[in-house]
Chain A
């Protein structure tokens, strides 16, 4: 990951799109029974300037890294500005404190989306369990696949897309570079 110049252009003719990492924390790559790749394949054609100003890539090793060494994991997962976390990873894996710490370390634009994938009757209890983790303003929960799909689409199209305003993307990217640099 390299710092972007303040005046960097992303679209044509340079065609140097912003590479948006999506980090999945899950034992499987499925989200509500669907493959994340197929969800992304549905979404990306609807994103304005996709492949020109922005490309999205899923990374699935978030949970393995967290289990392995949560502090070391941060240098990798920080590079993704959208985290998709299956609720069981936080609650059942006993990684609550590690996630809380990792989320606290993120720059403000990093979005953490917690996927609550359970029967509706259990939603309230799960949300209570997630309490301290969801306290940060950049954390939100989704409870169904269509809402997840819409949230990812909105995020990629509106927040992470240099076409909709590149300053924030440049600032986020450079902040992450500084963060990783400060840790090394």
Chain B
């Protein structure tokens, strides 16, 4: 585990593994790489079965790379959406992850190139067509790694309930705030249930910053559980317009607003936020 721990200690690894188990990711990358390496060794160059002119090949590989790179971004934003870190829902942060994945896969592919093509060409300087083909391979390789991580999560026995939990938490809070007391049935219970589930997700997440959010949520939930309905309503923002409003309730509501902000950030994937911002929403 020493090797994995050292990987974990590098914040950069977060860009690649999204807080997943290092062992699992290492196994996925290793098997992928072995598979790819084996393919390189058994295959015979040239790789393009149809003879294209250089410019056509560059055009095709360029277009393919753009499409694959975009798909990689969507896939990575999906992976980010499964995490309990607000940072991994940010388009910029996902872009960094995207770059990290591409950089990693480019290095692997270049090593493969050196092993397979260099003996034929005798040159370590890449030809334009090699760059184009390499780019397609790199993005494809990155997609295959991200896809396996994503699929592994998707078919796991512990489905990620984060989106439902966030929705239940925020909806219950909104209802609790808006409804008069006699109409409130089980909103505090639903809020607590969703909050506890989110808390478990945050506490078991390995990502940087989730610990702080978990601690804030835990403190707020503990207080919420101990309050009567009258106080619980105040904690989610039903602060009566009173001259003698107590700051203790305002503080608790402010803490809720901070939590709400972070949870709302986690409620949209990076790619969806990009689309929304393009649409001007």
User: Do A and B contact each other directly (Cβ–Cβ < 8 Å)?
Assistant: yes
Chain A residues within 8 Å of B, Cβ to Cβ: 1, 16-17, 19, 21, 24, 26-29, 36-37, 55, 57-64, 76, 79, 184
Q: A19 is contacted by which of B226, B240, B242 (Cβ under 8 Å)?
A: B226
Q: Which residue of A lies closest to B245 (CB)?
A: A60
Cβ-closest chain B residue relative to A54: B226
A63 to chain B, nearest CB (A): 7
The residue in chain A whose Cβ has the minimal distance to the Cβ of B231 is A57
Q: Are A19 and B244 in contact (CB under 8 A)?
A: no
Q: Say whether B227 contacts A60, CB under 8 Å.
A: no
Q: How many angstroms between the C-alpha atoms of A26 and B243 in the bound complex?
A: 8
In the complex, B9 has a CB within 8 A of chain A: no
For residue B119, CB closer than 8 A to chain A, the reply is no
Task: Beyond A1-B228, A60-B246, list 4 extra A-B contacts (CB 8 Å).
Answer: A27-B243, A57-B249, A59-B230, A79-B230
Contact A28 B231 (CB under 8 A): no
User: Once bound together, how far apart are the Cα atoms of A57 and B230, in whole Å?
Assistant: 10
- The verdict on A1 contacting B229 (CB below 8 Å), with A64-B243, A184-B182 known, is yes
Asked whether any CB of chain A lies closer than 8 Å to the CB of B247, the reply is: yes
Interface centre among B231, B241, B246, B248, by most chain A C-beta atoms within 10 angstroms, is: B246
Verify B228–A58 contact, CB threshold 8 A.
no
Number of contact residues on B: which range applies?
10 to 19
Known contacts A29-B246, A37-B248, A184-B182: A57-B227 contact under CB 8 Å: yes
Most buried by B among A24, A29, A57, A76: A57
Q: From A68, which residue of chain B is reached at the shortest CB distance? A: B240
Q: Among the interface residues B182, B228, B244, which one has the most CB atoms of the partner chain A within 10 A?
A: B244
Shortest CB distance B256–A (Å)? 15
Q: Are A79 and B228 in contact, CB atoms less than 8 angstroms apart? A: yes
Residues of A within 8 A of B244 (CB): 24, 26-29, 60-64
A36–B243 alpha-carbon span in the complex (Å): 14
Which residues of B have CB within 8 Å of A26?
244
B228 touches A19 (CB 8 A): yes
Asked whether, in the complex, the Cβ of B230 is within 8 Å of the Cβ of A37, the reply is: no
Q: Compute how far the CA of A17 lies from the CA of B241 in the bound complex, rounded to whole angstroms.
A: 28
Which residue of B182, B228, B241 is within 8 Å of A64 (Cβ)?
A: B241
What is the bound-complex CA distance between A26 and B246, given in angstroms?
A: 12
CB-CB < 8 A to A21: which residues of B? Answer: 228, 230-231
Assess A61 versus B240: contact at CB under 8 Å? Given A1-B229, A19-B226: yes
Known: A58-B248, A64-B240, A184-B182. A76 touches B226 (CB 8 A): no
Residues in B whose Cβ lies below 8 Å from that of A28: 243-244
A36 and B226 contacting across the interface, CB-CB below 8 Å: no
Name A59's contact: one of B182, B226, B241, B246 (CB within 8 Å).
B246
CB-defined contacts of A62 to chain B, threshold 8 Å: 244
* Cβ contact within 8 Å between B226 and A17: yes
Inter-chain CA distance A17–B222, complex, in Å, is 11
Q: A1-B228, A79-B230 are in contact. Are A58 and B246 (CB under 8 A)?
A: yes
Contacts of A16 in B (CB 8 A): 226
A-B contact pairs, 19 of them (CB 8 A): A1-B229, A17-B226, A21-B228, A21-B230, A29-B246, A36-B246, A55-B227, A57-B227, A57-B228, A57-B231, A58-B246, A59-B230, A59-B246, A60-B243, A60-B244, A62-B244, A63-B242, A63-B243, A64-B243
